[in-house]
Chain A
Amino acid sequence: MRTFNVRRARFIALCLLPGVVFVALFTYYPVLRGAVMAFQQYNLFDLTSTPFVGLENFRAVLGEDRFWTALRNTGTWVVVSLFFQFFLGFGLALLLRRHFRGRGLYQAWVFFPWAMSGFLIGLLWRWMFNGQFGVINDLLLKTGIIDQRIGFLASPGWAMTSVIVANVWYGVTFFAIMIMAALQSVPKELYEAASVDGASRLRQFWHVTLPHIRPTLALIVLLRIIWILNFPDLIYSMTGGGPAGSTDIITTFLIQQVIGGDYGRAGAVGLLILGLLLSFSVFYLNATRFEKSR
């Protein structure tokens, strides 16, 4: 390392200052304040007294049925969405791996859901899943899969399936692109060596490809889990958490607390989510670490 140098230090400080100030003031400060509020009685409609109430907000939140429903729904929302995004994405990545004529075209267009917001995607699918005028009902009727219209977003049984379908449509591409990049990072010599040894394509995939990309896959999956959990936008515009809370996830539950003006409870829910994510991440990283033998 070079010796300490005042001009150099000043240059570094000046370059970093704006970013640090913005993130400290508008991200870390409010997040910390929200964490403190979790232990306060803090209601927007009565700011005259905001005493510390210990774990009262947590008790109130954990005592609500809606919270537990939302937590269960979060599990379904994350696990099922992830499952289909992963496997469909993997399939697409394998198909797009090698160069062929027109690959660029497929890549460009398959990518487009990414340019849309979760809010717009929710609207789009809300219209397509409409019970009366929705195109999905129409297509299912035409192909004879169903014989009468389904109120997809009006029935608690179907609503979660519907939001997950929309989420899979949105997220598959991301997985496909990431996995494709991982696949391309496998050195060609490994395959050459394997085929000299007479390994079949399937064995090559199993013994060369998979072990090589496993660390990357583990990381992508973790990031996706966090991201799907923190993604209420689509649900917000597609069902608003309904009907009867059947598509409420923990993040839409948190937003309802904020809109309701109860920042104390919102803070408590936020901390619970954070705790959940952190403990899951630690568990997950431990579980996948021993496989990180490149």
Chain B
Amino acid sequence: MRRVATLAKVVVLTAWLLITLFPLYWIVITSLKPKPEIFAVPLKYWPGTVTFEHYAELFSFADFGTYLLNSLMVSLVAAGSVTAIGVLGGYTLARFAFPGRGALMLAFLVTQMIPLFIALGPLYLLMSDLDLLNRLAGLMLVYVAMLVPFSTIIMRGFYERVPVALEEAAQVDGASRLVAMVRVVIPVMLPGIAATFIFAFVQCWNELFLAITFIDSEDAKTIPVAMNSFITQYDIDWGSMAAATVVSVVPTLVMFAAIRRYIVEGLTAGAVKG
């Protein structure tokens, strides 16, 4: 009886796993099929010939190298800043009681709920006033603002799991608060910090609407903006689009796999407490 139940469980889970993975498989083999095979009926579930022509096209015909570099720059700088700001802000929110703390937490939480698209137009005007349209710096600023509430709240959660006694001991030994924080608390929290950084990185890497609103010059496009313009320009060239999808998803996939455990921990700790 117990065996049957376990078997049923494995069968159902495996079916779900296949459903989850199949779209990824399908896009990967589409990117590797020569054009005639992509549009061959009946469909080929296994590529007859493997070709890298779509990838080559992406980097020669479309300037995908530039877009990749742009996305990388924006995501690294924004995620780094977001994490640093979260590390500082989360610390004070976790360790001190001060007037306005509740209001600040609320102001940060509310940003996760209001429809931020209402800000899209005004942000465009603001970027234009600051002369930041078509500049990567403009995107970085907005991404940092977008992710700071999340990173601060998450970091606060991580700090609350580190015993205060740890840093008090360091302070008794004569270290200042800042030194105690940097030397004692932060090393303990490194996995949480890394998770926050990667999560922010993936968000910036994937962001579309702000980017298409602010960027339309070729040399400032990020990957989603470029892919979005592939759609309108040539209808859809599915081979190149599949290759672009694979190129843009592989880095985030690898990073997410690395931090999955911490993200789940962070999110679920917050939810279960609430």
- A residues apposed to B, CB below 8 Å: 1, 8-9, 11-12, 14-16, 18-20, 22-23, 25-31, 33-35, 37, 42, 44, 91-92, 95-96, 100, 102, 106-120, 123-128, 132-133, 135, 138, 169, 173, 177-178, 180-182, 185, 216, 219-220, 226, 229-230, 232-233, 236-237, 251, 254-255, 258, 263, 266-267, 269-271, 273-274, 277, 281
Contacts and interface: CB of A to CB of B under 8 A. Distances in A.
B115 A274 contact: yes
B54 to A, nearest CB: 13
A100 B271 contact: no
B11 to A, nearest CB: 10
Given A16-B92, A37-B121, A182 B272 contact: yes
13 contacts: A14-B88, A27-B146, A34-B121, A34-B122, A110-B17, A112-B253, A115-B257, A125-B23, A173-B20, A181-B268, A216-B274, A267-B121, A274-B118
B145 A25 contact: yes
Interface in B255-274: 255-257, 260, 264, 267-269, 271-272, 274
Main secondary structure of the interface of A (DSSP, over half): helix
B249 A267 contact: no
B35 to A, nearest CB: 11
Given A15-B88, A266-B118, 20 more contacts: A19-B85, A19-B108, A19-B148, A19-B149, A22-B144, A23-B149, A26-B142, A29-B122, A30-B122, A34-B119, A37-B121, A109-B17, A132-B39, A132-B41, A133-B38, A133-B39, A178-B268, A230-B115, A232-B117, A263-B125
Contact of B117 (A110, A128, A254): A254
- Which of A16, A124, A132 counts the most chain B CB atoms within 10 A? A16
Contacts of A270: 115, 117-118
A181 B261 CA distance: 12
A233 B209 contact: yes
Contacts of A109: 17, 20-21
A35 to B, nearest CB: 7
Given A31-B116, A34-B119, A125-B23, A111 B268 contact: no
Closest 3 CB pairs of A and B: A270-B118, A117-B206, A181-B268
Interface in B68-127: 85-86, 88-89, 91-92, 96-98, 104, 107-108, 111, 113-126
Given A127-B27, A177-B268, A220-B271, A273 B20 contact: no
B248 to A, nearest CB: 7
B141 A26 contact: yes
Nearest to B208: A119
Given A23-B111, A26-B142, A127-B30, A12 B98 contact: yes
A117 B38 CA distance: 24
Contact of A263 (B17, B43, B97, B121): B121
B172 to A, nearest CB: 16
A220 B270 CA distance: 11
Given A19-B152, A133-B43, A181-B272, A128 B121 contact: no
B213 interface: yes
A220 B177 CA distance: 37
Nearest to B245: A120
A100 B3 CA distance: 12
A124 B245 contact: yes
A169 B152 CA distance: 30
A110 B22 CA distance: 11
A9 B111 contact: no
B252 A116 contact: yes
B88 A30 contact: no
B27 A106 contact: no
Contact of A26 (B91, B145, B152): B145
Contacts of B202: 115
Contacts of A1: 97
